[in-house]
Chain A
């Protein structure tokens, strides 16, 4: 059974600070890891994915992956009020016949305080 765990929050961060979101997963066979942002009433939108150990940066976002410890994190630098949303961590295990769907965590609700 694949499981993805996130702290539900809310996580409150002052504007301009770094927001740190964490996620752990149970399946050591997981190969790809995703961060999605979801605003209330909207569908999830992909922020970034990572599949190699280490850091991956994209603008103000940095994803960090540690497969040995089975955790993945997302850092948001210079947090803005518009970053207030629920952040979903997801993992993928590729199977031979085609890609599996994603297994999602329940999400962390992030609040950026002006």
Chain B
């Protein structure tokens, strides 16, 4: 069974805080992805990584950064959280023919 875990299911942070969302996989996949999902806007790609220390911007990278120091772990960083970053954040792993999602982190920024 594919196992993708995310550090928190629910998170509440204040505006201006630095926020770390962590994703861990046990499948030894090279590729890891961060998406956010919002009502009416759907799932949108923020960043992805295809190897340790490698990263690529997705469709909406503004306000975010990522870190991948180890193959199994991919972190999404909100440098200074804002209310418009309130969303469901989903990590995924996989290759060209499959992507599997973690359970998601619902982040609320107040």
A and B bind: yes
Among A31, A43, A51, A98, which residue has its beta carbon within 8 angstroms of that of B104? A43
**Interface of A: prevailing SS:** strand
A28–B81 CA distance with the chains assembled, in angstroms:
37
Among B41, B43, B59, which residue has its beta carbon within 8 angstroms of that of A44? B43
Q: Is the CB of A101 within 8 A of B104?
A: no
Q: Is the CB of A107 within 8 A of B45?
A: no
Interface residues of B toward A: which range? 20 to 34
Interface residue count on the A side (C-beta < 8 Å)? 25
Judge whether A62 is part of the interface by a CB distance below 8 angstroms.
no
A100–B92 CA distance with the chains assembled, in angstroms:
12
Tell me how far the C-beta of B37 lies from the nearest C-beta in chain A, rounded to whole angstroms: 9
Tell me how far the C-beta of B15 lies from the nearest C-beta in chain A, rounded to whole angstroms: 26
Q: Which of B44-64 contact A (CB under 8 A)?
A: 44-45, 48, 50-51, 54, 56, 58-59
| Nearest residue, chain A, Cβ from B91 | A43
Q: Is the CB of B97 within 8 A of A106?
A: no
* Residues on A with beta carbons closer than 8 Å to the beta carbon of B103: 42-43
Interface residues of B (CB under 8 A from A): 30-31, 33, 35, 40-45, 48, 50-51, 54, 56, 58-59, 90, 92, 94-104
